[in-house]
Amino acid sequence: MSLRPFHLAFPVQDLEEARAFWGGTIGCPEGRSSSEWIDFDFYGHQIVAHCTGQSAGDAGNNHVDGHGVPVPHFGIVLAMDQWEALADRLKAAGTRFEIEPHIRFKGLAGEQATMFFRDPSGNAIEMKAFADLGQLFAR
């Protein structure tokens, strides 16, 4: 599967917090920036932290496999070894998880590793992985 990179702009309350979290904790290389925004290479995709001076808000949550999933959220599907390494890095950094790293839909169609956490501005992030990427859209 060959995909074109996506672009996502999202609000942050403080650029230095965003730089430390996205660049340091998550490990995204920094691209262009200004006094109002920072581009990050999010596993080959372009995400842009735009400083609004305000925290992100939730529209609510939906129940998925026994957990309240925050809406909106964004993230990426990683290889399982990348997901495990990121989960370890986040735990070591003292990240508070909204939903702890675990396997969702175990033994069912769409079985996946998932975790939810927030950046310092309150943006909800889901990182996931599949042992079998063919399960991504399984029904």
CATH superfamily assigned to domain 7-51: 2,3-Dihydroxybiphenyl 1,2-Dioxygenase, domain 1 (3.10.180.10)
How many CA atoms lie less than 13 Å away from 64 in the CB half-sphere? 17
The pLDDT of residue 57 is: 81
For residue 61, how many C-alpha atoms fall within 13 Å in the half-sphere facing its CB?
12
Averaged over successive runs of 10 residues, the pLDDT of the chain (139 residues) comes to 89 97 97 97 98 88 88 96 97 96 94 97 97 93
Distance CA 23, CA 136 (A): 27
Torsion, Cα of 10, 14, 20, 21 (10° steps): -40
**Candidates 1.20.210.10, 3.10.180.10, 3.40.50.720, 3.40.710.10; CATH matching 60-135:** 3.10.180.10
pLDDT value at residue 133: 94
Specify the domain boundaries for CATH 3.10.180.10 within the chain: 7-51, 60-135
**For position 1, what pLDDT does the model report?**
56
